[in-house]
Structure 1
Amino acid sequence: MALPSATREIRLAAVPKGLPGPEHFAVVTQPVTAPGPGQVVVRNQYFLVFPGLRTLIGGQVEGIPLPPIHAGDVLFGPAVGEVVAAGSGSPLRPGDAVTHLLGWREHTLLAADQCTPIGDVLPDPVAHLSSGAAAYGALTRFAEIRPGDTVFVTGAAGAVGTLAGPVARLLGAGRVIGSTRSPAKADRLRTELGYDAVVVPGSPSATLAGQLREAAPEGIDVLVDTVGGEHLTVALMAARRGARFALVGALSGQLSPDGGGGSAPADIDSYRVITHGIALRGYSGVDHPGVAEEWATRFGSWLRSGEIAFPQVRIPGIERAPRALQELFEGRHFGTVVVELPPQ
């Protein structure tokens, strides 16, 4: 495979005050460097658009195993691609399909050991960019679904939530409730993904707490929280004794125009936590390295059997990536959002 002479990448042009928009990014053309010993050049085919970029751009990375993104830096994130050149000593060869963390560019030069070869465990390469491992890990390591449990998933129309509900059902949940700010997405969650009920924050007809009481009159046993803030407060009031809460995201802070995306305050009734014996824990995939492989195996089996779907939106072309990020912040899409790069 011949290396191209140039490639494009997305850089942060200016640090925003509030949520970043397309005007804060630049598409920059760069020369492609041939790989040295132990290195490879990968042509990216897909890369993930994810809300955590807000936190990295905001510089609030304490406790996160990722560096901040400064003005002039290239954005990064999970990607799927094909090796197009390999240096001496590399275990990878041209044509190998891999995943890595240097998305937001058409080609990338990196050490071969920073790539993970893709086998046939998943039927679609894009499925390697799913956020389902977070949902699966939270439901198996912390929440430990029991037959008949009532599960509440906040931010259910997002990348984690569209998989968390169906996975909870496959693990034995009896009733699955979601939340989303879009009535249209609420309909899709019920009709396409099997959610039993969906609450819509900001509804003029009922409060979030009132909607959750109606959807789960006997309370909830499990929470998979991707939002925080008011959602977490309300969920605590609906928790049954012995409820297990797994916190996997903080969208209320990341999608707020205020701050830097590194905080999602919530009012916690500690008295209720104590008297109801509620377990509340934050889930991070880096603390559970075996989950990703276990998830991929089960996800692949469920996809092939048709027991689960992988809701996704594919945005064509690297030049549309900054707009795709803004649309993610605005809640315009359903499921996982990826940028698809055409063959070159």
Structure 2
Amino acid sequence: MKHVIATLAGLAVLGAIAGLAVVFFGLFDTSARRGHWAITDWAMHTTFENAVKWRAPAASEVPPDLDDPALIELGARHYASACVTCHATPGRDADATIAAMVPHPPQIQQAVKPWQPQHLHWIVDQGVKMTGMPAWPAEGRKDEVWAVVAFLNAVRDGMTAEDYTALTQTGEQGYCASCHGPDGTSRAPRLDILSPDYIAASLAAYRSGARASGIMQHAASKLPATADARLASAMADLPAPPRPAVTGDADAGAVLADQGAGEVPSCLACHGPQNRNPLIPSLDGQGQSYLAAQLRLWRDGHRGGAARAPLMAQAAQQLTDDQIAALAAYFAMR
């Protein structure tokens, strides 16, 4: 037994020496031109597949509205700005520089083919080590990740190059207006009802990370801070978009907004017609899906970024899902 232990100890020492030699003498060839051995590729990819399937959310957590055109459009527009460089577009391959990466980022139609929505959510949210695939920029914003998953699901279901172009083209009013303007997506907030001061403060909060949003942190990072005031004024002057039909119990929302309930205070005390503070947003006519999503973020502790954020977080803390739905219906209808 002593000889066995001594042999194992000796092998362990030799293994440690060999490992240190690889590290300190550069014996492992890190050249991307040669890539990995086939067995290394197999081991890494198999590990990746099993890690995703083990850690992905349950299929029951997939939202039922992944086929919502507005959600798909929001995800497509973010993809066009943040992801297309590596994964290209439906019907098109990435450029030669990206094709030379090791491992090679798969073309988007190939990338989504093996995965179910819950798996895609984990990949987009968590990223993948040693591949250049980043995690979602805003931890906790799983709702935004589902927008990208909705787009990826549509790609897997047969989105064509023409479909993609129609979803992501930028109109005459520019990049920001493509989501927030009159022809934008109802999943993005209306900006024409907000003050320039509020929009500029929001841009600054996104840029600093004080207000978490993978979509908007990426968008704000593409602009210099000196452009915030000018852009905010332009966005506040956008034409009003068509108002989609409102569903839900707006009457119950009206009572709750006016009177509050239990620990939930009156919404109209701050957001009502008497509001003259440009840093308190107007909610009248804001998109129903967007309002509901923001209220859930406030309630669940994933929203902030302004001086009054603690007040809103406290106000939303006791809201139920039904109350959130009613409030979103009420303000969207006003």
The structure carrying a bigger helix percent of its residues is: 2
Q: Which one has more relative contact order, counting CA pairs under 8 Å at least 6 apart? A: 1
TM-score by length of 1: 0.26
The structure carrying a bigger strand percent of its residues is: 1
Q: Which has the larger radius of gyration?
A: 2
